[in-house]
Structure 1
C-alpha cells in the first residue's frame, strides 16, 4: 500500500491478484469534532482497507521534509504518527520515500508540478481524481520497480 498523507490522503493498493486499486480519502475535521478525531477516522479507515484487502504486506508513504504552512506540517505529523503506530501494532513494515525521489521517478524531474505528476500516471493508464491519488500511484510504481511492493 502506498500513501500520500494529508487531510486529503491519496492511496494505492496492489492486491494479491496483481490488480491495483487507488483513490483519495478526505480526513477533513468535522465542524463539531475534536482535533484528534481525524486521526481516529484515519486509523479506522486503515483497518478497513487492511480487512478488505485480506492484509497489507508493506506500507510506503511520501516523506515530506518541507510544508507550505504550520497547519499542514502539524496535520502531516499527526497522520505520520498514526500510520507508523498502526503499522507497528499490526507488524507491517513501512518506509518513507522522499517526494523528490518519487517525482524524479515518475517524470524525470525532482521538482515536477502537480499537473506533471497527474499527467505521468495518466500516461500509465490511470485516471486519478486528484494529485494526491496521482502521487500514491506514482509511489506504488516506484516501489514495484525497486522491489519493495509485492
Structure 2
C-alpha cells in the first residue's frame, strides 16, 4: 500500500485519474462534475531529446491536467508485472516512478490495479484481448481511439464501480 492511502471509496472522491502507462499513455478522468473524459497522449522521445525528457514531459502533462481538470484527488494505474520487452519495462518503470513521486509531492493517493483485475471487470475474462477491451468500452458508450484509452477507461470504471477495490 502506498504512503498515501486511498479514501474509503472511489465514489467519495470527486476527481479521479486513471492511467495506462506507456509510451502511448491512455488516460481517463472523472471530473468534479461527474463528466468522464479520456484520450491517449504520446511520450515518445523526440530525435534530439535526452533520456529523461519523456519523464519531464509526463510531469508537465500531469501538472497541466491537474490544473485544468482537477484538482486530482485519486489516481489509479494499470499495474503491469510482465512486459513484452526490456524497453517497455524501463519506460513503464520510469513513468510509474515519475507518477508516484508527483502524487506523493501533492498528497494525492494512488493505487496500482492488476491487469487481470481490469480485464475481468471490463469483459468477464481476465485474459481479454486488446480488441475485447476496446469492444467493452464501446459497449459502455465510450469511443476509445485505441487499446490504451480503452484500458484507462476500464481502470476508471473499475475504480468507480468497485469503490477502488473495496466494494
Q: Distance in 2 between matches of 1:8 and 1:141?
A: 20
TM-score scaled to structure 1, two decimals?
0.98
Q: CA deviation at 1:146?
A: 1.6
Q: Distance in 2 between matches of 1:114 and 1:147?
A: 24
Q: Alignment partner for residue 10 of structure 1, among 23, 26, 39?
A: 26
Q: Deviation per CA, 1:89-125: give whole Å up to 9, x if none.
A: 0110000000000000000000000000000000001
Runs of 4+ in 1 over 6 A off after TM superposition: none
Q: In the alignment, what sits opposite 1:69?
A: 85
Q: CA deviation at 1:148?
A: 3.2
RMSD after superposition: 1.0
TM-score scaled to structure 2, two decimals?
0.88
Q: In the alignment, what sits opposite 2:56?
A: 40
Q: In the alignment, what sits opposite 2:14?
A: none
Ranges in structure 1 where 5+ consecutive residues have no aligned partner: none
Q: CA deviation at 1:54?
A: 3.0
Q: In the alignment, what sits opposite 1:144?
A: 160
Q: Distance in 1 between matches of 2:67 and 2:44?
A: 23
Number of matched residues?
149
Whether 2:158 is the aligned partner of 1:118: answer no
